[in-house]
Amino acid sequence: MSLTLPSAPLYDALALRYEEHFAAPHRLAYDTLAWDLCIGWLPEPPANVVDVGCGIGRWAKRLTGLGYSVLGIEPAPLMARRARERMANDKEFRLLESRVEEVDLPAGTNDAVVAIGSLQYTDEPADAVARMAGWLRPGGVLAVLVDSLAALILELVKDGRIEEANERARERRGVWTEGGFSADLHLMDTAQLAELCGDAGLEVVGCHGLLVGTSLLGRTRVVERLEADFAGQLEEERSAALQPDLADLGKQLFVVARMPAR
Ligand SMILES: C[S@@+](CC[C@H](N)C(=O)[O-])C[C@H]1O[C@@H](n2cnc3c(N)ncnc32)[C@H](O)[C@@H]1O
């Protein structure tokens, strides 16, 4: 079943306060974990990275700061405008204002592609993974972060919303409502991500669940813990994120796959 509620209006409504949005403890925590894991997998700079769904350029800015050249792809007009403004003086950043589905890049030329929170909004994730994989050189890496199907279902069951949990499990779709806008999204698990990567000719090298604690304690309790001791809770989550068999319990899934060297 395809998506029906486009995400661009929701992200545009968030664009002006996107840094603030990511300062919330749980988002800051999963983003920190994903960044630290990702940096370990990227080839050494200088190297070129495609940032799919780059938003306002949060990751792009950090990547160019480390010496990477970044091509951002972003379809939400206000997010794209903010990325342009924030990176106006950065010669290592270029932006295509487009959905990933509509971008054609030369095959086999990029060192890395990162898709942090964007794959789940694409029409057909299998096609998007295949497209992104096609842009990688042999040995290049694809890193994707998506919301976890299992973690959402557990959260709904914990809240007593059993019918909704069942519907989400059956349809593998979620709806995110924020600031009066709603966007629907694909909900995935690690087996599906591994299958999409395998079908695209990639080999999964990293499989991580971010904020596994939310599946055990609930999000409110994890946020309380992060507020009380951010560094301590983050370290616990970092250990859990290193256990691939726990990955589906993470609120977010972070998967890294490599194009085999020829
Ligand atoms: C969760 S946000 C993450 C933004 C950015 N990666 C970050 O971490 O700050 C997801 C982003 O994906 C973008 N997006 C949605 N659908 C997309 C598509 N089909 N192709 C590329 N990007 C898309 C949204 O506009 C939004 O900016």
The predicted model scores a pTM of: 0.97
Res. 101 pLDDT band, cuts 50 70 90: very high
Query: Could you tell me which of 116, 113, 147 has the C-alpha nearest to residue 130?
Result: 113
Query: Which protein residue's CA is at the shortest distance from atom 22 of ligand 1?
Result: 53
Is residue 1 scored above 70 in pLDDT? no
Structural domain boundaries in the chain: 8-258
Ligand 1 within 6 A of CB of 99: yes
Indicate the CATH number for domain 8-258.
3.40.50.150
The pLDDT, as a whole number, for residue 23 is 97
Cβ neighbours around 67 below 10 Å, total: 11
CA of 73 to the centre of ligand 1 (A): 8
CA of 214 to the centre of ligand 1 (A): 23
Query: Could you tell me which of 188, 183, 110 has the C-alpha nearest to residue 145?
Result: 188
The pLDDT, as a whole number, for residue 258 is 98
Ligand 1 within 6 A of CB of 79: yes
Mean pLDDT (whole number) for 64-86: 98
Of the listed ranges 189-193, 216-220, 242-246, the least confidently predicted one is 216-220
Mean pLDDT (whole number) for 158-174: 96
